[in-house]
Structure 1
Amino acid sequence: MLFGKLLPKEGNFFELFNDHGTQIVEGARAFMAMCENYSDITLREKFAAEVDAHEHHADRVTAEVNRLLHRTFITPIDREQIHSLINAMDDILDLLQDSSETMQLYDVRSIPEDVLRLAELSAKCCERVQHAVTLLPKLSQPQTAEAAIKTCEEIDKLESDADRVMRSAMSRLFREQEDVRELIKLKAIYEQLESISDRCEDVANLIEGIVLENS
């Protein structure tokens, strides 16, 4: 019992989740802006740097959550849920950064409309993730729990929309793109962008589980 008394009973996990959620949204918006201004090299590099900055900030938040788990005796929700949720959230920003870097490493010269559409859906998914995370501290309230479930359902729908856009983009790519190198580049980018919404859905599934256990 003495060991338990020496450790804090609760950490600021929800504040850290909110901070990470903010980085996800800002990173997604910077990525979207990069895609929209891709032909302008100066703006492209500016927004790519912003994506990197938000990813690095989020990494620090993730590390702090994991450190706090080791120092906290009683957590506000299950320890494994905290660990899984923060790492799933971190995967979203990792993919945003990977997508940004892939476009530059592959020397993509122009951005097709399908990339912009997938980037837009990714940004919307990220915004819903952030909203769902802000509801976690008040899940004991039935209305809040219901709102969290509804938000997770919205993420699922957006993920399905991204699936459809990606399938349509792939079909068009293989029908119309004659340059094999460009086909390979764009195929990889489409798959990465669609994976962002998949990771958002992973977060939604985790939050749904937290709601069911804590509301």
Structure 2
Amino acid sequence: MTLNSIFQFLVPKDKKFFPLFQQASANLVILARTLHEGVNAPKEEREEYFKKIEELEATIEEITHKTHLELSRNFITPFDREDIHALIKSIDNVADNMHGAASRIRLYQVDKITKSIRKLTEINLEACELINEGIGQLKNIDNTKLIKETCKRINKLESKADVVFDKAVADIFENETDAKNIIKYKEVLSALEMASDKCKSVSNVMEQISVKHS
């Protein structure tokens, strides 16, 4: 048994931070699923999805705030304080960017949802589901190999999103003649691509934590 393992055994089981992480990641999955369903719904039904996304984003923001409060109140934490801050903040950033994509569709009145937008929301949903799995794996950090594999899958999805984004932007500039539409689609696609980047950031933090505790 390593010195770190002994220390982890002696530290009381965390009852504050992991419930918050799990609440945040569970809500993130619901937000990602709502966005994916929203862009696949008829135009007249999208508003309900967008309202739900707003509520979910606000919920995750509140969980982030509660986590920061717990950090200020508790001396003993399940892992390094800066990693706790980085983990909850990176999850919040994913939510912010998916909410940003929904807001742009709504604000710019993007009526026609392209295949690329649908594909990016699908990729982000899959990545968020893996983030939720990864959070559960961190709670039982003995199996670092499993966490690393989850992180690897998230990183592959981020690379896949980059390819979809680059092709989508190229297609817009090649086929779209209306400058306003070019701006609209570019803004939505950029927010979705940034969300996938932030999923990779969550992955990086989870892997960093697992390495420290291996």
Report deviation, 1:38: 4.2
Residues 25-44 of structure 1: CA distance to partner in whole angstroms, max 9, x if unpaired? 000000011100142x2x20
Instruction: Answer yes or no: is the 8 Å Cα contact 2:105–2:188 preserved in 1.
Output: yes
Aligned to 1:34: 38
Residues 118-169 of structure 1: CA distance to partner in whole angstroms, max 9, x if unpaired? 1111111111111111111111x2xx21111000000000000000001111
Q: Which runs of 5+ in 2 are unaligned?
A: 1-11
Instruction: Answer yes or no: is the 8 Å Cα contact 1:28–1:126 preserved in 2.
Output: yes
Aligned to 1:4: none
User: What is the correspondence of 1:88-99 to structure 2 with a 5 Å cutoff?
Assistant: 88-99=90-101
User: What is the correspondence of 1:170-185 to structure 2 with a 5 Å cutoff?
Assistant: 170-185=169-184
- Aligned-residue Cα RMSD (Å) equals 1.3
**Measured at CA, do residues 9 and 128 of structure 1 come closer, stay the same or move farther in structure 2, by a change above 3 Å?**
closer
Aligned to 1:212: 211
Instruction: Answer yes or no: is the 8 Å Cα contact 1:9–1:73 preserved in 2.
Output: no
Aligned to 1:63: 65
From 94, 99, 102, the equivalent of 1:100 is: 102
**Measured at CA, do residues 30 and 158 of structure 1 come closer, stay the same or move farther in structure 2, by a change above 3 Å?**
same
Aligned to 1:198: 197
Distance 2:67 2:182 in 1: 40
Q: Does 1:124 align with 2:123?
A: no
Q: Give TM-score, length-normalised by structure 1.
A: 0.91
Instruction: Answer yes or no: is the 8 Å Cα contact 1:28–1:96 preserved in 2.
Output: yes
Report deviation, 1:188: 1.1
Instruction: Answer yes or no: is the 8 Å Cα contact 1:38–1:111 preserved in 2.
Output: no
Distance 1:120 1:187 in 2: 18
Distance 2:41 2:113 in 1: 9
Aligned to 1:24: 28
Equivalenced residues, count: 203
SS at match of 2:30: helix
Among the aligned pairs, what percent are the same residue? Answer: 31
**Measured at CA, do residues 208 and 9 of structure 1 come closer, stay the same or move farther in structure 2, by a change above 3 Å?**
closer
Aligned to 2:6: none
Instruction: Answer yes or no: is the 8 Å Cα contact 2:124–2:196 preserved in 1.
Output: yes
Residues 88-136 of structure 1: CA distance to partner in whole angstroms, max 9, x if unpaired? 1101111111111111111111101111011111111111111111111
Instruction: Answer yes or no: is the 8 Å Cα contact 2:101–2:189 preserved in 1.
Output: no
Q: Give TM-score, length-normalised by structure 2.
A: 0.92
Aligned to 2:53: 51
Instruction: Answer yes or no: is the 8 Å Cα contact 2:91–2:202 preserved in 1.
Output: yes
Report deviation, 1:73: 1.1
* Counterpart residue identity of residue 209, structure 2: I
Distance 1:99 1:171 in 2: 19
